[in-house]
């Protein structure tokens, strides 16, 4: 069974948009909630590639792609994170793995696993020195 549920994210360049990453990254601290939005946006770009982006967004997504390849995640974390990036909810991921692996997977454990993976990804971005303490691009 092939899973192809994709939640397309509508990217807008308007100020105040919830996905205007250039302003968000420079004004706010990078946390799990913001990183979740960025991951879903990153996956949408890979699938559609129809979006015009500003330079800062391109740089952030480049560092994110590199960090995703470099960060040490377990197989379970990678699987859950990949489905989460595609737009699945914690409950849908848990239901899928309960059916596939025939082991009970609770959606709370899926959420915890995904949050730990996102935390590792954020730490990897800081380690790469691509983002400074205020999450603005510093070494470009």
- pLDDT tens column, 95-107: 888 877 777 778 7
Over range 35-48, report the average pLDDT. 78
Output the pLDDT for position 43.
80
| pTM higher than 0.75 | no
How crowded is the C-beta side of 108, counted as CA atoms within 13 Å? 0
Residue spans of alpha helices (H) in the chain: 21-27, 32-48, 55-70, 75-85, 90-101, 107-127
Which of 71, 76, 88, 79 has the alpha carbon at shortest distance from 36? 88
What is the CA angle 90-92-24, rounded to 5? 45
A 10 A CB-CB count for 45 gives 18
């Amino acid at each position: 069974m092939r899973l192809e549920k994709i939640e397309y994210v509508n990217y807008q360049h308007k100020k105040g948009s919830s996905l205007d990453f250039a302003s968000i990254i420079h004004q706010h601290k990078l946390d799990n909630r913001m990183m979740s939005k960025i991951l879903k946006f990153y996956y949408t770009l890979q699938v559609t590639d129809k979006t015009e982006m500003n330079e800062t967004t391109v740089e952030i997504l480049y560092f994110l792609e590199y960090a995703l390849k470099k960060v040490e995640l377990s197989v379970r974390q990678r699987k859950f994170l990949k489905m989460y990036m595609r737009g699945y909810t914690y409950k849908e991921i848990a239901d899928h793995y309960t059916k596939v692996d025939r082991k009970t997977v609770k959606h709370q454990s899926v959420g915890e696993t995904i949050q730990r993976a996102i935390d590792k990804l954020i730490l990897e971005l800081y380690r790469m020195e691509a983002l400074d303490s205020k999450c603005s691009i510093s070494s470009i």
